[in-house]
Chains A and B, each alone.
Chain A
Amino acid sequence: MTFFLVSSIVKIVVVFTVIMVGVALLTLAERRICAWIQDRLGPNRVGPQGLLQPAADGLKNLVKEETLPARADKVLFMLAPAMSFIPALLTFAVIPFAAPLPTPWGDVDMMVANLPVGFLYILAFGSLGVYGIVLAGWSSNNKYSLLGGLRASAQMISYEIALGMSTVAVLLLAGNVTLTDVIAKQAQSVFTWNVFPLSLAFFIFIVAAFAETNRLPFDLPEAEGELIAGYHTEYSAMKFSMFYIAEYSNMVTASALMTTLFFGGWDIPITTWDNTPPWTTLKTLATLAMFSAKVMCFLFLFIWVRWTLPRFRYDQLMALGWKVMLPLALAYVTVIATAIWFLHDRLGWTYDSRFALALFALNLVLAVPLFFVLDRGHLIAGSVAEQGERA
């Protein structure tokens, strides 16, 4: 019991620190990658290659004046940054980030809390983040903030469904909602990584994840051109900074989630050395490095997409969410459930590379017409109306 308490507290402190430092560096990474994409250099003055820029920003935000709009709802205005900040950090608690670490007192799971309901916990806390944004918009007593908050709530609710649906396929394949089991199931070979048998689910998940984290092309809650800064228009100093930290920790969590659900978590591809006992410190470190590398790839993808794509119009966003992603996710769950039933119950295959590759082939067959239709814009149309028709 003492060991459990001590190890948990150590893990909480370490994970919290790593995420906060990671988020700080991520803001720098975002600014520098954005600059490189635009043929600029980006912040490179504070410290070597600008590495201390986040510290300078943090210091600036700490000593800046806190503003409080005269007619704002004071309690909610103060509470809102914390309400978007805390769920963003809490979600990471159930994500396994390395192989268990052996200690003289027993093996330590490399996740803050090994919850049996891991995945359900993530869905639950992922949705809580929207409260902070909506309350920030409401309490500011500013029409732009309010519109931002409303957009955020509508957007996150819409895409939450597609997100949940796409992961049903993962849970069907794993037969469990515990994230350690999801990873163990994927660890057999490279092809059993869920991205192969469930490619389309991954596609739906990644689109929904972009929408859930309010990143471009789905950053309508902030939409500078229309809403100034959306829900955090009235915020300054550390309270503003907390929204930023929340956004970036949501990105980290979403990346970690994609890694865990679709890219084998901390599993090192090709070899099975890393996921079979006896556990050693070396294995823990190697898997931790693997996990970090995968997460960083996704973080780079987030940044890269942000500085490439333009923002959706609001009706396009809603149309994509309800008319494309949701039916697609539903249909996909039906197809994949049938396929799994057929392969597993009818043909009696056990889950291995052959099983995964069979599903991958099915995904490819489904993907061709889907991407053809998506590409031609039959589903996410612009404001195309027949000529002469009055809007």
Chain B
Amino acid sequence: MAIGVKVMKRPGAEISYLRATLKGMALTLSHLWRPKVTMQYPEEKSSKDWTLSPRWRGTHRMLTDEQGRAKCVACGLCPQICPANCIKLVPGEDEQGNRYPLIYEIDEFRCVFCGYCQEVCPEEAIHVGVHYENSEYSRDRFVYDLERLCAQTHPVSTLWDPSDPKGE
């Protein structure tokens, strides 16, 4: 025996097949001439309906001071907070006792783009950026070294502000 299925009673007077079909056809026909929503990606990267959010967390960027040196003081907070363990930092110290990173590498493959490194940084040196096009021809190119991080030019992320949750 088949399982009993509850069958809904349909309102006979409102049933319409041909009229509904014709109505549907008219609707689809009218859509032929409506403005299209497609964005022609590589040529067109933002439109009036859609732009990348300023909060977007993408490719990292290291900010530099007036002399073009990285602002990083190699305090070690970012490798500490990083949940994906993708930051490699070897600190160094010069004659005046200023700390600076000897090696600073971010593996963009491991990174989960949480933005904690930017939040935790006391010198506002490391940032996640409003940028998403980072394809390469080989895997090892995804480990960004300090020089490459400093050379990035895209805008940095504003991150989410708890006092202004909607970004207004």
A binding-site residues for B, Cβ under 8 Å: 33, 35-41, 304-305, 307-309, 371, 374-377, 380, 382-387, 389-391
Asked if A39 contacts B7 (CB within 8 A), the reply is no
Pick from B7, B31, B37, B38: contact of A385, CB below 8 A. Answer: B7
Pick from B1, B16, B35: contact of A376, CB below 8 A. Answer: B16
Pick from B10, B19, B32, B40: contact of A33, CB below 8 A. Answer: B32
Q: Which residues of A contact B27 (CB under 8 A)?
A: 308
Asked if A375 contacts B17 (CB within 8 A), the reply is yes
Pick from A374, A375, A383: contact of B7, CB below 8 A. Answer: A383
Mind listing 25 A-B residue pairs with CB under 8 Å? A37-B28, A37-B32, A39-B31, A39-B38, A304-B25, A304-B29, A305-B25, A307-B28, A308-B21, A308-B25, A308-B27, A309-B24, A375-B17, A376-B15, A376-B17, A377-B12, A377-B17, A380-B17, A383-B7, A384-B10, A385-B7, A389-B7, A390-B2, A391-B5, A391-B7
Pick from A40, A308, A382: contact of B37, CB below 8 A. Answer: A40
Asked if A304 contacts B28 (CB within 8 A), the reply is yes
Pick from A37, A308, A374, A383: contact of B17, CB below 8 A. Answer: A374
Q: Which residues of A contact B1 (CB under 8 A)?
A: 390
CA distance A309 to B26 in the complex (A): 12
Distance between B15 CB and nearest chain A CB, rounded to angstroms = 4
Asked if B7 contacts A308 (CB within 8 A), the reply is no
Distance between B3 CB and nearest chain A CB, rounded to angstroms = 9
Interface of A is mostly: loop
Interface of B is mostly: loop
Interface status of B36 (Cβ within 8 A of chain A): yes
Q: Which residues of B contact A38 (CB under 8 A)?
A: 31
CA distance A59 to B7 in the complex (A): 51
Given contacts A305-B25, A308-B24, A39 and B17 within 8 Å (CB-CB): no
CA distance A391 to B147 in the complex (A): 73
Q: Which residues of A contact B28 (CB under 8 A)?
A: 37, 304, 307-308
- Give the tally of cross-chain contacts (CB within 8 A): 67
Q: A41-B40, A304-B25, A304-B29 are in contact. List 4 more A-B contacts (CB 8 A).
A: A37-B32, A40-B37, A308-B28, A376-B17
Asked if B24 contacts A36 (CB within 8 A), the reply is no
Instruction: Report the nearest A residue to B21, measured CB to CB.
Output: A309
Pick from B7, B15, B31, B35: contact of A377, CB below 8 A. Answer: B15
Asked if B12 contacts A376 (CB within 8 A), the reply is yes
Pick from B5, B18, B24, B36: contact of A41, CB below 8 A. Answer: B36
Asked if B16 contacts A39 (CB within 8 A), the reply is no
Q: Which residues of A contact B29 (CB under 8 A)?
A: 304
Q: Which residues of B contact A309 (CB under 8 A)?
A: 21, 24
Instruction: Report the nearest A residue to B27, measured CB to CB.
Output: A308
Pick from A33, A36, A375, A391: contact of B2, CB below 8 A. Answer: A391
Q: Which residues of B contact A391 (CB under 8 A)?
A: 2, 4-5, 7
Asked if B7 contacts A384 (CB within 8 A), the reply is yes
Distance between A268 CB and nearest chain B CB, rounded to angstroms = 26
8 Å CB interface, B28-48 against A: 28-29, 31-32, 34-38, 40
Asked if B36 contacts A39 (CB within 8 A), the reply is yes
In the A-B complex, the 10 residue pairs with the closest CB atoms? A375-B18, A377-B15, A41-B38, A308-B28, A385-B7, A37-B28, A36-B32, A390-B4, A308-B24, A37-B31
Asked if A40 contacts B16 (CB within 8 A), the reply is no
Interface status of B139 (Cβ within 8 A of chain A): no
CA distance A351 to B91 in the complex (A): 101
Asked if B4 contacts A377 (CB within 8 A), the reply is no
